[in-house]
Amino acid sequence: MKRARVAFAGAIHEAQPHERGLRLADGRICGEQDVVWLPPLELGTIFALGLNYAKHAAELKFSKQKEPLVFLKGPNGIVGHRGVMRRPDGVTNMHYECELAVVIGRNARSVRRAEALDYVAGYTIADDYTIRDYLENYYRPNLRVKNRDGGTVLGPWLVDAADIPDPGNLELHTYVNGRQTQSGNTRDMVTPVPALIEYLSGFMTLAPGDVILTGTPEGVVNVNAGDEVTCKIEGIGRLTNFIASDKDFNRT
């Protein structure tokens, strides 16, 4: 099953896909652009993986890692499908990152990888933006690069884990203004989903609503104000957002 959270007519609703857009829990049918899409769940801890696809790591000139590179994000960055991110004037490299997002469904502590997928509630898509101009080498990647308002687009749907039997073989694609710029497959992850859950739950407790953003494959390119960016993951959906300028945000 696929579920979204949307705002419509003054309230927040759960919704499911419908041939004319989506169907709210109370039965109303709405078009895709008639609602405000919210992140598909209320998030707990947000984990993000750096350099989790071998070719992307090579693209950024990194060699093999001893353990997964995981950092943490706050909820300020999370926006739903069709959300907007500000691109500060004067930056030279702000890029999307299409990522499989894994949503934890049960408390997990010291889980072994063979059982790890039993702890997954479902999957969604993340487009996790980076502004490389602001990269500094302290607790890298620093939050000014990776935790900006509107910089983590999530959704549109939370897809039940039962509908995705193998998260380790899903095609990912990104399109900028309709042109494909990124292509990959989750089978190329350096640390696949079950091993990530084993790793994290080995030293801390994971809880329902925690989300792991599992990293992005090669093919990240700079985007500009006015661009429309769409990330697609096989079986999960397509997630769009828009890039805006300082002027759009009344910051000039």
* Site for another protein, rule CB under 8 A: 44-45, 67, 69-77, 134, 136-140, 142-144, 147-149, 200, 203-207, 251
User: In angstroms, what is the minimal distance from the CB of 207 to another protein?
Assistant: 7
The rounded distance, in Å, linking the Cα atoms of 76 and 51 is: 23
Helix intervals (H) in 14-136: 54-59
Closer CB to another protein, 33 or 138, in the complex: 138
Q: How far apart are CA 18 and CA 230, in angstroms?
A: 20
Q: What is the DSSP letter of 119?
A: G
Measure CA of the first residue to CA of the last residue in the chain; give whole Å: 44
State which residue, 25 or 72, has the beta carbon closest to another protein. Answer: 72
Q: How far is the CB of 46 from another protein (least distance, A)?
A: 8
- The tokens describing 99, both together, are 């990522």
Q: How far is the CB of 179 from another protein (least distance, A)?
A: 29
Two structure tokens written together for 236: 């999960």
Beta-strand pair 94-95/83-87: unpaired
Identity of the residue, 140 or 247, whose beta carbon is nearer to another protein in the bound complex: 140
Least distance between another protein and beta carbon 24 (Å): 27
- For residue 192, say if its preceding peptide bond is cis, omega within 30 degrees of 0: no
Report in angstroms how near the CB of residue 251 gets to another protein at its nearest. Answer: 7
Nearer to another protein, 104 or 172 (CB): 104
Residue type, 224: N
Give 149 or 234: the residue with its C-beta nearer to another protein.
Answer: 149
